[in-house]
């Protein structure tokens, strides 16, 4: 891109920042962008406003309307304040909570938000230091607040930060509130942001809330006797420099585990994430140090959490004694299999229980639920949609678990977002229960496949940065809608589900059936006659288009596992070639 090709809206927005009520450092940084020979960075910084996606406001830190800085955080907070004052005008005092993770500028952004809320007459409970995202959700419910915000970019690289907004039930904001808040944010001019806080309306949150949260965490235990017998299970845990550093080990100890092995280098709280390229427990490299420690200590289980401790990654020993990473789908399967198996044995399945998964998560969840007469729900990607299902069923049905393939699970509804602190505590118990029953977690996973069918999942994504990247991703979606593949992995295509139109169509018969979802979404799903599934969607929080692939196979004995897995991997490779990705 050349200077004379800079879009007019970008130049106008940059000029607004140069002439508006922005601080001197910000104006100087904008001027430097304008003077650069290559205007790509300027264009990306100003070509749009940051918007709420599946994970809220998220972007690269820096100056500009498309960046995370005190002004975009300020506009979001002022807009949210304006909306809260309309939505809860009947209350004598509106109250919110604010938390933050370990990222660079997270504390600054949290304090900025606290000042703005308080300047608008809203009472703020500000966590005294970094805390896990699920604890923020819990605190909203525990204190009876109207909203909350946590400053985090979850598992994104260090250049990113984010702003997740929550409603009064502790869940991330969904329609109509998210749309209404965006409308309010869009009206906010920089001069209307009330940056000067009211200290009398900002109260600290700390150890007392930790205690209440941890009490609930340990209440999920279903096999305390197994933990007593297997209390010295060797558990390697890493917070990957993030917020799990205190509460996850505390939760494990309170559950009764006595042999928790840390990774000292990754217990260092740092927004630079010095030991990893990406602090994402989905990435094998992020667990490299933990796996090394596990081999050295002959550990039973490896667990990791992302910087805001809402995602859990685990590694277990296979039948050869080698550590393997468990993918997000398998993690959900292990959790739900255990919860349903234990509740069934204890007589705790009454017919009112239900589980939830996202549409891109393994269809084996539906199989496990159906064979145990447990109701299950499908929802869009993002835990705010799982929380929405819980909200709809409040007081009528019993939530016993829900998850998504991207390493998120929620074992209990006292939190309304994915919860890696509680998930780590429960996963450790599952490992203890399996060992108590003369099983490894690997054998337990194989038993799930033997009982409910085998599936192999893989996710591939394509990254396209900036304005041109967003346009390219949209063109990919247009192409798949207008010209879906005739077959995938040698299996003819049977059904296409288009969540943009909420219609699923049978390509073999022409039959069309409505899809039951409250809202539309830019997602396509392809189902073949052999039960293969491919989901295609642009990410709501990152410059990516994602492909979720699931193939099925028959497994009749543990001895066949390696062979069946190899065949399934070959099928996945074949599907990926058919997608030309």
Whether residue 558 lies inside any domain: the answer is yes
Residues 177 and 218 placed together within one structural domain of the fold:
no
Q: Which residues are catalytically annotated?
A: 154
CA distance 468 to 87: 38
Q: Which residue has the tokens 């994602």?
A: 546
Residues 227 and 323 placed together within one structural domain of the fold:
yes
Q: 21-36 pLDDT, tens per residue?
A: 999 999 999 999 999 8
Whether residue 17 lies inside any domain: the answer is no
Selection from 446, 524, 510, 517 nearest residue 480 by Cα = 524
Q: Tell me, rounded to whole angstroms, the distance of Cα 517 from its chain centroid.
A: 20
Partnered with residue 379 across adjacent β-strands are 358
Residues 375 and 476 placed together within one structural domain of the fold:
no
Taking the alpha carbons of 283, 531, 570, 319 in that order, is the dihedral positive or negative?
A: positive
Residues 200 and 265 placed together within one structural domain of the fold:
no
Q: 261-298 pLDDT, tens per residue?
A: 999 999 999 999 999 999 999 999 999 999 999 999 99
Q: 517-550 pLDDT, tens per residue?
A: 989 999 999 999 999 999 999 886 667 899 999 9
The pairing of strands 95-100 and 123-127 is parallel
CA distance 54 to 459: 18
Residues 181 and 220 placed together within one structural domain of the fold:
no
Whether residue 299 lies inside any domain: the answer is yes
Selection from 401, 445, 441 nearest residue 422 by Cα = 401
SS3 label, residue 296:
helix
Q: What is the pLDDT, as a whole number, of residue 2?
A: 64
DSSP strand E in 507-543: where?
512-514, 524-528, 533-538
Residues 434 and 358 placed together within one structural domain of the fold:
yes
Q: At 315, phi and psi to the nearest 5?
A: -135, 140
Q: The domain that contains 121 carries what CATH number?
A: 3.40.120.10
Q: What is the pLDDT, as a whole number, of residue 580?
A: 73
Domain end among 189, 205, 221: 205
Average pLDDT of the chain, as a whole number: 94
Using the predicted structure, report yes or no on whether residue 483 has a pLDDT greater than 60. yes
CA distance 388 to 359: 14
Domain end among 188, 205, 222: 205
Partnered with residue 316 across adjacent β-strands are 324
Residues 305 and 388 placed together within one structural domain of the fold:
yes
Q: What is the pLDDT, as a whole number, of residue 215?
A: 98
**Which structure tokens are listed for 466?**
């900036």
Residues 117 and 174 placed together within one structural domain of the fold:
yes
Whether residue 561 lies inside any domain: the answer is yes
Selection from 251, 249, 196, 245 nearest residue 219 by Cα = 251
Other Cβ atoms within 10 Å of 18 Cβ, number: 13
Q: Among 43-47, 451-455, 560-564, 576-580, which stretch is predicted with the lowest mean pLDDT? A: 576-580
CA distance 525 to 496: 6
CA distance 536 to 285: 25
Confidence bin at 432 (pLDDT 50/70/90): very high
Q: At 254, phi and psi to the nearest 5?
A: -70, -25
Q: Among 54-63, 115-124, 502-511, which stretch is predicted with the lowest mean pLDDT? A: 54-63
Selection from 400, 395, 403, 404 nearest residue 373 by Cα = 400
Confidence bin at 59 (pLDDT 50/70/90): very high
Mean pLDDT of 11-23: 93
Q: 306-365 pLDDT, tens per residue?
A: 999 999 999 999 999 999 999 999 999 999 999 999 999 999 999 999 999 999 999 999
Selection from 549, 208, 499, 278 nearest residue 378 by Cα = 499
| Structural Rg of the chain based on CA atoms | 24
CA distance 129 to 349: 40
CA distance 577 to 105: 42
- What is the torsion angle, in degrees rounded to the nearest 10, for the CA atoms of residue 6, residue 11, residue 13 and residue 16? 160
Domain end among 418, 449, 480: 449
**Which structure tokens are listed for 275?**
């030991």
Using the predicted structure, report yes or no on whether residue 382 has a pLDDT greater than 90. no
Whether residue 20 lies inside any domain: the answer is no
Residues 108 and 222 placed together within one structural domain of the fold:
no
As for how many domains the chain has, the answer is 3
CA distance 288 to 309: 18
Q: What is the pLDDT, as a whole number, of residue 444?
A: 97
Residues 365 and 490 placed together within one structural domain of the fold:
no
Asked whether 362 and 453 are in contact (CB, 8 A), the reply is: no
Confidence bin at 142 (pLDDT 50/70/90): very high
The pairing of strands 491-498 and 524-528 is antiparallel
Using the predicted structure, report yes or no on whether residue 64 has a pLDDT greater than 90. yes
Task: State which H helix or E strand residue 135 sits in.
Answer: helix 133-143
Which string of DSSP letters, residue by residue, matches 352-369? -EEEEEETTS-THHHHHH
Whether residue 23 lies inside any domain: the answer is no
**Which structure tokens are listed for 271?**
């927004």
Asked whether 298 and 234 are in contact (CB, 8 A), the reply is: yes
Q: Among 55-64, 83-92, 104-113, 562-571, which stretch is predicted with the lowest mean pLDDT? A: 55-64
Domain with 549, as residue range(s), is 454-579
**Which structure tokens are listed for 537?**
């969607």
CA distance 365 to 336: 8
Other Cβ atoms within 10 Å of 540 Cβ, number: 18
CA distance 410 to 4: 51
Q: What is the pLDDT, as a whole number, of residue 4?
A: 63
Q: The domain that contains 494 carries what CATH number?
A: 3.30.310
Residues 132 and 269 placed together within one structural domain of the fold:
no
Whether residue 529 lies inside any domain: the answer is yes
Residues 295 and 196 placed together within one structural domain of the fold:
no
**Which structure tokens are listed for 145?**
């607040």
Share of the chain above pLDDT 90, in %: 87
SS3 label, residue 546:
strand
CA distance 477 to 508: 22
What's the N-to-C CA distance of the chain in angstroms?
Answer: 27
Q: What is the pLDDT, as a whole number, of residue 255?
A: 98
Whether residue 384 lies inside any domain: the answer is yes
């Amino acid at each position: 891109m050349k200077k004379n090709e800079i879009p007019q809206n970008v130049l106008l927005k940059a000029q607004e920042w140069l002439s508006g009520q922005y601080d001197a450092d910000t104006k100087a940084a904008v001027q430097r962008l304008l003077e650069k020979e290559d205007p790509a960075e300027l264009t990306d910084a100003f070509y749009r406003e940051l918007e709420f996606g599946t994970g809220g406001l998220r972007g690269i830190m820096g100056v500009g309307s498309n960046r995370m800085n005190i002004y975009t955080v300020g506009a979001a907070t002022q807009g949210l304040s304006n909306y809260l004052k309309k939505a809860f005008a009947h209350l004598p005092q509106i109250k919110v909570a604010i938390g933050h993770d370990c990222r660079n500028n997270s504390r600054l952004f949290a304090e900025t938000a606290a000042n703005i809320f308080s300047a608008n007459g809203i009472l703020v409970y500000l966590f005294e230091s970094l805390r896990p995202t699920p604890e923020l959700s819990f605190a909203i419910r525990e204190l009876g607040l109207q909203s909350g915000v946590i400053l985090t970019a979850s598992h994104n690289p260090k250049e990113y930060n984010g702003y997740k907004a929550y409603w009064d039930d502790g869940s991330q904001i969904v329609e109509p509130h998210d749309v209404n808040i965006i409308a309010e944010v869009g009206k906010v001019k920089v001069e209307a942001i009330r940056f000067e806080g009211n200290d009398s309306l900002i109260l600290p949150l700390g150890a007392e809330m930790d205690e209440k949260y941890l009490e609930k965490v340990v209440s999920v235990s279903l096999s305390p006797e197994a933990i007593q017998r297997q209390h010295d299970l060797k558990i390697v845990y890493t917070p990957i420099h993030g917020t799990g550093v205190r509460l996850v080990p505390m939760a494990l100890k309170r559950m009764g585990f006595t042999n928790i092995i840390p990774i000292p280098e990754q217990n260092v709280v740092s927004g630079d994430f010095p030991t990893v390229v990406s602090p994402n427990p989905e990435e094998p490299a992020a667990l490299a140090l933990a796996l090394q420690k596990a081999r050295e200590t002959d550990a039973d289980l490896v667990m990791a959490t992302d910087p805001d401790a809402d995602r859990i990654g685990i590694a277990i020993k296979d039948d050869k004694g080698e550590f393997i990473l468990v993918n997000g789908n398998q993690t959900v399967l292990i959790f739900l299999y255990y919860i349903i198996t234990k509740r069934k044995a204890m007589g705790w399945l009454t017919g009112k229980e239900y589980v939830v998964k996202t549409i891109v998560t393994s269809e084996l969840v539906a199989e496990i639920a159906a064979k145990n007469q447990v109701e299950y729900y499908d929802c869009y990607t993002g835990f705010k949609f799982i929380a929405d299902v819980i909200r709809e069923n409040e007081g009528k049905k019993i939530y016993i678990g829900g998850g998504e393939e991207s390493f998120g699970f929620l074992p209990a509804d006292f939190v309304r977002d994915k919860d890696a602190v509680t998930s780590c505590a429960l996963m450790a118990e599952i490992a203890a229960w399996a060992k108590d029953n003369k099983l490894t977690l690997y054998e337990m996973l194989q038993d799930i496949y033997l009982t409910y069918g085998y599936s192999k999942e893989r996710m591939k994504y394509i990254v396209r940065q900036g304005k041109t990247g967003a346009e390219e991703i949209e063109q990919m979606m247009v192409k798949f809608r207008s010209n879906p593949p005739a077959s995938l992995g040698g299996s003819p295509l049977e059904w296409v589900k288009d969540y943009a139109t909420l219609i699923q169509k049978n390509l073999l018969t022409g039959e069309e059936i409505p899809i039951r979802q409250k809202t539309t979404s830019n997602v396509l799903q392809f189902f073949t006659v052999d039960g293969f599934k491919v989901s295609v969607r642009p990410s709501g929080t990152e410059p990516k288009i994602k492909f979720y692939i699931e193939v099925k196979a028959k497994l009749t004995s543990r001895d066949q596992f390696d062979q069946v897995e190899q065949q399934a991997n070959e099928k996945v490779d074949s599907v990926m070639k058919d997608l030309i990705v």
